[in-house]
Amino acid sequence: MTPEQIEANKSRFIELCHEYIQRDGVDRLLNYLEQKTDFYTAPSSASYHLNEEGGLCKHSINVFETAMVIKQHIVVPAINNAEAPFSEAPTDESIAIASLFHDLCKTKFYHKAERWKKDSTGHWVSYPGYEIKDDFPFGHGEKSCLMLNQFISLHADELLAIRWHMGMFEMTEQGSGTRMAYRQAMEKSPLVALLQTADMISANIREKTTVWE
């Protein structure tokens, strides 16, 4: 991503926060991102989707945009037609909070490092990549909830959605109690499934992985 694209995504992210989130503390949160983290320049992953500078901010915007489309074209019609097990759709504010900040845990998480791979001739060559250094290993969704809740008060459905947004990627490593809690969270709010779906669509359909030749 070019510096111009990174700056444009940063401006877009801030605009979305101001447009959709009226929660007390959002300005303090944005100031924290600006002054204390690498949120706007961090990659979204080390080896997968948007594993490039500025990827985290771009991914967060993609998830929000995708979630809003899913709400408009799937969630709301299902509720209006009495086909859904829920009677109310998530608010735009809740969708914005959950999607724009679901990966807050990835700030100060990826660090630039020289990486190595074999080229087409079998020789080792270096390329610029990232390594993971987690100063506070508290989990993924859990850590995002904890960090976010220090600035704005989260509603129950927002906490559940962010906590469980990794979905089945985490379930294979967990016991039956955790799997049951995950299933119950899905039953409590449509925001849980909505965020998971938007995250997966964004990461696997809307975003490329940089492969160094």
Amino acid 176 reads: S
Token pair 């990835």 is found at: 106
Structure tokens at 104: 């807050």
Residues 73-95 have a mean pLDDT of 97
pLDDT recorded at residue 147: 97
Taking only the tens place, the pLDDT of each residue in 102-125 is: 999 999 999 988 887 777 777 788
Whether pLDDT at 127 is above 90: no
Query: What pTM, to 2 d.p., does this model score?
Result: 0.91
Mean pLDDT taken over the chain: 92
Output the pLDDT for position 171.
Answer: 63
Q: Which residue has the higher pLDDT, 210 or 25?
A: 25
pLDDT at 176 over 80: no
Cα 17 vs. chain centroid, distance in angstroms?
A: 14
Name the β-bridge partners of 132. Answer: 110
pLDDT of residue 64: 98
List, in order, residues 6 or more apart from 45 with CB less than 8 Å away: 51, 55, 110
Residue 38's pLDDT is 97
Domain-wise residue ranges, the chain: 3-116+123-206
What would the DSSP string read from start to end of 23-47?
A: -TTHHHHHHHHHHH--TTTS-S-SS
Residue range 142-149: average pLDDT? 97
Least confident residue range of 19-23, 120-124, 133-137: 120-124
Q: What percent of the chain has pLDDT over 90?
A: 78
Q: What DSSP string describes 80-115?
A: HTT-SS-SSPPPHHHHHHHHHHTTGGGTTTEEEEEE
When pLDDT is averaged across residues 82-97 and rounded to a whole number, the result is 97
Rounded CA separation 157/180 (Å): 17
Please tell me the predicted confidence (pLDDT) of residue 179.
81
